[in-house]
Amino acid sequence: MKNYFFLQVYSLVKKIPRWRVATYSQIATLLGQPRSAQAVGWALHACPDNIPWQRVINKAGMISIINERAPKTLQVALLKTDGIKVIKNEGDFFVDLKIYRWLK
């Protein structure tokens, strides 16, 4: 069974609406664990299919996923389906946090 922190991550990430993103550190802070951004990433790496993992990006607004199961291009496609504009810059993909950040 997944640990309690992972379950908390999944519950919170499910609340991120379409057209919005959150950062790994934002999720960790909202869960009262501000130094656990990397653990949020591990939780999403192992998440069930019903979690909108694509809506979590790094604090610079960059898609930083490293996952054979879900490449960056899949995250880009899912974000675009969510109505989020993704910008490509020098091979990296970015979302404008000023526009799309979820403010819980």
CATH classification of 4-100, choosing from 3.40.50.300, 3.30.360.10, 1.10.10.10, 1.20.1260.10?
1.10.10.10
Domain boundaries in the chain?
Answer: 4-100
Query: 40-87 pLDDT, tens per residue?
Result: 999 998 899 999 999 999 999 999 876 656 677 889 999 999 999 999
SS (H, E, C) the chain: CCCHHHHHHHHHHCCCCCCCEEEHHHHHHHCCCCCCHHHHHHHHHCCCCCCCHHHEECCCCECCCCCCCCCHHHHHHHHHHCCCCCEEECCEEECCHHHHECCC
Query: 28-42 pLDDT, tens per residue?
Result: 999 999 999 999 999
